[in-house]
A and B are shown apart, each in its own frame.
Chain A
Amino acid sequence: GQQLNQSPQSMFIQEGEDVSMNCTSSSIFNTWLWYKQEPGEGPVLLIALYKAGELTSNGRLTAQFGITRKDSFLNISASIPSDVGIYFCAGPTSGTYKYIFGTGTRLKVLA
């Protein structure tokens, strides 16, 4: 079945550094969503992408829908301590109402 692979699995960075993470699939997606989950909470949507090649920003976050439609990227600029959490990519499986989620990238920011 369809799977989403996220890398890296975890990152430890210094406050102020930029962060890049990606999500890849063996099959095509028509929508990419990026979520952030903080400890003890449910995931919250950060950015939604609906077109191949689309580049969308939300404050210090920028996400891109890959041209091949098999990948997506999330960048965080000038990281701050509150960026700590797990970042998930997600996309709808073809022909269904169901989303699949990647395994997540765990981000820790050192002050």
Chain B
Amino acid sequence: NAGVTQTPKFRVLKTGQSMTLLCAQDMNHEYMYWYRQDPGMGLRLIHYSVGEGTTAKGEVPDGYNVSRLKKQNFLLGLESAAPSQTSVYFCASSYSSVGEQFFGPGTRLTVL
């Protein structure tokens, strides 16, 4: 039982490049979330999903897209990376909308 896993762990991009971050959970959770964490700030919600095939915008969605084609996977895409997207990205999942969120280990992204 791996919980929530994220790939890759680290990535360096040049401005304008694209990439996809993968989140996978093996707990059969309906809800999945993508957050970014910047120094001195808490976690800010980028996008979330309440079930397979659904996605919704969070607090800071601009510049990101997501897809939830399979219940266990939630993908976060950056179409044209910008230095302002340098951050640590966390994926989380939960069994209910008000229950505990289980977090992955994070992906540290640097955009030059």
Which residues of A does B touch, CB under 8 Å? 4, 30-31, 33, 40-45, 48, 50, 88, 90, 92, 97-104
Contact = CB atoms under 8 A, between A and B. Distances in A.
B103 A102 contact: no
Given A42-B104, A92-B97, A92-B98, A103 B41 contact: yes
Interface of B: 4, 31, 33, 35, 40-45, 48, 50, 56, 58-59, 90, 92, 97-106
B98 A42 contact: no
Contact of A98 (B58, B104, B105): B58
Given A42-B90, A88-B42, A99 B106 contact: no
Given A41-B106, A42-B104, A101 B42 contact: yes
Query: Looking at B31, B41, B42, which has the most chain A CB atoms within 10 Å of its CB?
Result: B42
Contacts of A31: 98
A44 B103 contact: yes
A42 B106 contact: yes
B103 A43 contact: yes
